[in-house]
Amino acid sequence: MQILLCLSIALFAGLMLSRLAKVLKLPAVTAYLVAGILVGPYLLGSFGVKGLGFISMEDIESYGIICDVALGFIAFSIGNEFRLAQLKQIGK
């Protein structure tokens, strides 16, 4: 039950911050990184409340496959932000 609560809080934080990033015209990847910091062991997890955030690095490491899939989605999202026309313009 605690695992599902932690993951649902992380997903909800990422979704809400990505919508905020869209309003601010920032890439969604920025919002995902900020959500990870908020839910991680150094902010919400530092309160030590089980289920509120990831309490320790061991908690995060136990979700290894989920972290790998999330990083894959983030990498795909970063690739989606690049446009060939923008790269040509920057190159000039």
pLDDT of residue 17: 93
pLDDT of residue 79: 80
Half-sphere exposure of 50 (CA within 13 A, CB side): 3
Model pTM score: 0.66
How confident is the prediction along the chain (92 residues), in pLDDT tens digits per residue?
677 888 888 889 989 999 999 999 988 888 988 988 888 888 887 777 776 777 777 877 777 888 788 888 888 877 877 777 777 777 76
pLDDT of residue 41: 82
